[in-house]
Amino acid sequence: MTLQILIIDDDEKLGALLCKYLADFNMKASASAKPSEGLKLLKSQNFDLLVLDFMLPEKDGFAVCREVRSESDIPIIMLTAKGDLADRVVGLELGADDYLAKPFDPRELVARIHAVLRRGASRGDKVTLLKSGRLVLDLQKRTAMLDQENLDLTTAEFDLLHLFMQRAGQALSRDQIMEALKGAEWDVFNRTIDVGLSRLRQKLHDNPKDPEFFKTVWGTGYMFIGSVEKKNE
């Protein structure tokens, strides 16, 4: 099956080069130099993955990522010419699945596309629903609900919650979490894990002093303590 890739990057030469290069790897790429044009394409066609540049005319990549993520769960790889760690972290927190710093070897982009799509495919296993009391995780729709109300989770937060619910009752260290998720969003620095767990706890209204879902295991890491029911629907 040919993968459909959308590239939004104001460097038209790079866009044309990537379209030609990706064709050799069974990927049909469409390139747009303007966010407005790229967003129209995204709404009118079915794409498997979006490659999104950070520096863009009209609006920056953060704004585009936020807009895309509000309507779609399409995997996103962000490109940045900056080496600023903060830019990468912000992009990932907005819902990007991976990032790649310019200049880059096109072969690395191909590898990252395959890696991101493999992670997405692994989520579509036989189990489609994970339930823990008031909390329901829908793996097909990639949605989470608490007391029948939608939780606004980033891609990274959803993946983190999915991992812990899959391994309920197991204490996971930061290294184990990063190894299990195998995503750049957790490779930035270990502190990202702590921040991610803290935000998840806030969104779940989980009191660390009297936890319903997450427990801090001192000297080790974290544990999901709620009982989890796995369903196929």
String of DSSP letters for 135-178: EEEETTTTEEEETTEEE---HHHHHHHHHHHHTTT-EE-HHHHH
Cα 157 to the chain's mean position, in Å? 8
Specify whether 117 is located in the same domain as 143.
Answer: no
Specify whether 107 is located in the same domain as 149.
Answer: no
Look at the chain and report how many structural domains it folds into: 2
Cα 206 from Cα 214, distance rounded (Å): 7
Specify whether 107 is located in the same domain as 218.
Answer: no
- pLDDT (tens place) for every residue of the chain, 233 residues total: 689 999 999 999 999 999 999 999 999 999 999 999 999 999 888 898 999 998 898 898 889 998 898 878 889 999 987 656 666 677 777 788 888 888 899 999 999 999 888 876 655 445 678 999 999 999 878 899 999 999 998 888 888 899 899 888 888 888 788 777 765 455 444 567 788 889 999 999 998 889 999 999 988 889 999 888 877 65
Specify whether 30 is located in the same domain as 139.
Answer: no
Q: Which domain holds residue 183?
A: 129-231
Query: What CATH number is given to the structural domain containing 188?
Result: 1.10.10.10
Is pTM, for the whole model, over 0.95?
no
Specify whether 103 is located in the same domain as 199.
Answer: no
